[in-house]
C-alpha cells in the first residue's frame, strides 16, 4: 500500500501529535507515514513524544532567527525527508506566503473553533476559548483546513462541534474541544488528504 511521507510541525506539548501517533498505532492512518517531527523550540515536549514513537525529530528554532533562516531550516528537513504532506499541530509560528505556495493543498492546520468564527489574527490557543465564552456561544468546536497563501484563509476539510457547558472556563473548554474534536478530526483529515495526494 502506498503511503504519503508526512512531517508534523509542533511548538509545545504535542497533544495533537499524540493523537496522530495513537491513530497510526490503531491502524487509522494506513496512507500516512510520519517521517519527521519538526519543533520550533528545543524544549517542546512533542519531541519526546515523537522519539518515544520512533519518529525522527528536528529542531528549527524560531527564536533569534530571521523568517528566511527559520523557514530555510524547515525546508531543509522537509526536503531531506521528501515530505509530501505537512501537518501543523500546535505550531505557533507564522509561515510566509512563499513557504506556503511551495505546498499547495499539502499543509493542514487544526484550529480550536468552528471557522470562520473566532479565526484570524489574535485567535490562537486559549484566546479562542476565552473569546467563545465572552461571546456566550452555546456551541464551539474545531476545524481542520488547508493553509493557502492567504494569511488566514484555507479550504475547510473537516469540522466537529462541541457543546459549551454551564460553568466552563477557558481551560475546561479547551480540553473538551481537544478531546471531542481536535484529536478526532485531525487524524481523519490527515488520512483523507493522504488519499487525495495519492490520487492526484
User: Looking up cell 469540522, which residue turns up?
Assistant: 159
* Annotated catalytic residue, options 111, 127, 129, 145: 111
Confidence at residue 151, expressed as pLDDT on a 0 to 100 scale: 46
Q: Is 111 a catalytic residue?
A: yes
For residue range 150-199, list pLDDT tens digits in order: 445 568 899 999 999 999 999 999 999 999 999 999 999 999 999 999 99
Please tell me the predicted confidence (pLDDT) of residue 188. 97
* Residue 131: partners with Cβ closer than 8 Å, 6 or more residues away: 118, 123
* Cα 124 to Cα 137: distance, rounded to the nearest angstrom: 17
Chain segment 101-118, per-residue pLDDT in tens: 999 999 999 999 999 899
| Percent of residues in the chain assigned helix, strand, coil, to nearest 5 | 40, 20, 40
Amino acid at each position: 500500500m502506498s503511503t504519503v511521507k508526512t512531517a508534523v510541525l509542533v511548538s509545545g506539548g504535542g497533544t495533537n501529535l499524540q493523537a496522530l501517533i495513537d491513530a497510526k498505532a490503531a491502524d487509522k492512518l494506513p496512507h500516512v507515514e510520519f517521517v519527521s517531527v519538526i519543533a520550533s523550540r528545543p524544549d517542546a515536549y512533542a519531541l519526546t513524544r515523537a522519539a518515544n514513537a520512533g519518529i525522527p525529530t528536528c529542531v528549527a528554532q524560531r527564536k533569534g532567527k530571521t523568517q528566511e533562516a527559520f523557514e530555510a531550516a524547515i525546508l531543509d528537513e522537509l526536503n531531506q525527508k521528501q515530505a509530501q504532506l505537512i501537518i501543523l499541530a500546535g505550531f505557533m509560528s507564522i509561515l510566509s506566503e512563499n513557504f506556503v505556495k511551495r505546498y499547495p493543498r499539502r499543509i493542514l492546520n487544526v484550529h480550536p473553533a468552528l471557522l470562520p468564527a473566532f479565526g484570524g489574527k489574535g485567535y490562537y490557543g486559549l484566546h479562542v476559548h476565552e473569546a467563545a465564552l465572552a461571546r456566550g456561544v452555546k456551541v464551539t468546536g474545531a476545524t481542520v483546513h488547508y493553509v493557502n497563501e492567504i494569511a488566514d484563509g484555507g479550504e475547510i476539510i473537516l469540522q466537529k462541534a462541541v457543546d459549551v457547558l454551564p460553568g466552563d472556563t477557558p481551560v475546561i473548554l479547551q480540553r473538551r474541544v481537544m478531546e471531542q474534536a481536535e484529536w478526532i478530526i485531525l487524524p481523519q483529515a490527515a488520512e483523507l488528504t493522504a488519499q487525495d495526494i495519492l490520487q492526484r
